[in-house]
Amino acid sequence: MCGVRIEVADGHITSIKGDAEDPFSRGHICPKAVALRDLHEDPDRLRHPMKRTASGWERVSWEDAFRDISQRLHALQKEHGPNAVGAYLGNPNVHNLGAMMFGPQLLRALRTRNRFSATSVDQLPHQLAAHLMFGHQLLVPIPDIDRTRYMLMLGANPLASNGSLMTTPDVRARLRAIQERGGKVVVIDPRRTETAVIADQHVFVRPGTDALALFSLLHVVLEGNVHRMGRLAAFVDGVDTVLPLVRDFPPERTAPHTGISPDVLRGIARDFLAADGAVCYGRVGVSTQPFGSLCQWLINVLNIVTGNLDREGGALFTLPAFDLIGGPRAFGVSPGSHGRWKSRVRGLPESSGELPVAALAEEILTPGEGRIRALITLAGNPVLSTPNGTQLDTALGQLDFMVSVDPYLNETTRHAHYILPPASLLERGHYDLVFHVLAVRNTAKYSPPVFPAGPDSRQDWEILLELQHRLETLRKGRSVRATLQY
């Protein structure tokens, strides 16, 4: 999302800097952008399809790889059913235009319910709350950081993450600007994070008790059964349900659990109410805990009952140039769902078409009908990035078949029978479909490729479309004669 100025001479990168002329990022650059050269030129980056054999990894042709992969996946599903094949999508997919456009098509071609992604170890509570409260999983309210006068953050460290579900380049300057215009930045977090250091107030909270602190804030805000929704009242249902809930959570009652003194919590609530534009924002720290979805619901409730939803300086909905919410449904972005089916072993509910990735290993290791026997991973390393990686590492070694679309041999892809490496990041163009939806400013930007792709390279979308085509063709009982030409 940030503007990056890349200088090239004789086919080599000589400089990567933030683009000071970019109206959104204003010259800001993060370590990811600086590392683009390292990734592009890395001798360890795979550039050709690789097949794991008894004697080690061997280079194979794209045609041979596509033919064997599609035939083996088709055979497994024909014998054991569609759910015998699972799929895991890593975080980089949402930073990839081709993967965003063609990944959903491949998932539909697989017809499996065993879908997993990085979502369930990150922002799923945000999406579930948005689906239940606003009607779409991507209608996530975004803090109006550039106009707010009081920003309350729980479990968020935007100085390290550059905002995350609040796409915010140069967030340090934007937080400082709140203070310079007479506003206040408050952080509730069990750790003294980089963001907490520059905040006007840092309040320690015992890990996992954020929901109690939020209930107490609402208790103070709604004392006397009075809300301050203003014009929002005509659009809001359920306030009568919330009022009796928050009565049971006065700050004096929750203080022994949260570690936050009643006076401090009451002071935060009063300042929040008094500010001419206030917003509460919670991130991964309040999502990855037993009450994560409750925390995100409570944060939305706090913004609503104080009249700070859909107002300048509060929490706003974006208007992206390409609308994933109201636009074409071909991208597979559904309004959301919950509990339409459950995982085989523990009975964990699906959310928006996928199961919690914490269940992936047990779905492979537990014998019985419906066991995952094959896995496709797209741009992810779940052995390192998901719960109980040691168990998942063991599970991947017991699969009948595995294929990874990834440019690296890593802790996860080492178990694959085939690795299909896409072209380099700098060999493809990009328009961000997701993070414009989450940005603190409505902007649009296309980044063209810096280098042409190599003659034996395939773009992500070419790989995904080819796999989809072959699986659908085999399912129809036809033979695949040759690789598609795009």
Confirm whether 369 is domain-assigned.
yes
Q: Is residue 484 part of a domain?
A: no
Dihedrals phi, psi of 89, to nearest 5 degrees: -110, 125
- Of 316, 347, 378, which one is at a domain's C-terminal end? 316
Query: Hey, what are 292's tokens?
Result: 């994560």
pLDDT at 480: 64
Residue 361 lies in a domain: yes
Residues 78 and 207 in one domain: no
The reported pTM is 0.94
Domain membership of residue 395 (yes or no) is yes
Q: Is residue 185 part of a domain?
A: yes
Say whether both 224 and 354 belong to one domain: no
CB burial of 343-362 (b: ≥16 within 10 Å; e: otherwise) equals: bbbeebebbbbbbbbbbbbb
For tokens 């990839």, the residue is 96
pLDDT at 332: 59
Q: Output the pLDDT for position 108.
A: 94
Give how many domains the chain has, as a whole number: 2
Residues 235, 344 share a domain: no
Same domain, 379 and 462: yes
Classify each residue of 283-302 as buried b or exposed e, where b means 16 or more C-beta atoms within 10 Å of its C-beta: bbbbbbbebbbbbbbbbbbb
Residue 309: CATH number of its domain: 3.40.228.10
**Domain match, 220 and 248 both:** yes
Residues 110 and 147 in one domain: no
Residue 322 lies in a domain: no
244 and 168 co-located in one domain = yes
Cα 172 to Cα 30: distance, rounded to the nearest angstrom: 12
Both 112 and 188 in a single domain? no
Q: Does some domain include residue 259? A: yes
CATH number at residue 71: 3.40.50.740
Q: Is 165 in the same domain as 295?
A: yes
For 224, the domain range is 140-316
Please indicate, yes or no, whether residues 114 and 147 belong to a single structural domain of this protein. Answer: no
Pick the closest to residue 372 from 339, 343, 332 (CA basis). Answer: 343
Specify whether 150 is located in the same domain as 296.
yes
Residue pLDDT tens, the chain, 486 long: 899 999 999 999 999 999 999 999 999 998 889 999 999 999 999 999 999 999 999 999 999 999 999 999 999 999 999 999 999 999 999 999 999 999 999 999 999 999 999 999 999 999 999 999 999 999 999 999 999 999 999 999 999 988 889 999 999 999 999 999 999 999 999 999 999 999 999 999 999 999 999 999 999 999 987 789 999 999 999 999 999 999 999 999 999 999 999 999 999 999 999 999 999 999 999 999 999 999 999 999 999 999 999 999 999 999 999 988 887 665 657 899 999 999 999 999 999 999 999 999 999 999 999 999 999 999 999 999 999 999 999 999 999 999 999 999 999 999 999 999 999 999 999 999 999 999 999 999 999 999 999 999 999 999 999 999 999 999 998 766 555 544
Q: How far apart are CA 402 and CA 194, in angstroms?
A: 40
- For residue 132, being part of any structural domain is answered with no
Distances (CA, A) of 419 to 84, 156, 376, 396: 20, 35, 10, 14
| Residue 103 and residue 145 share a domain | no
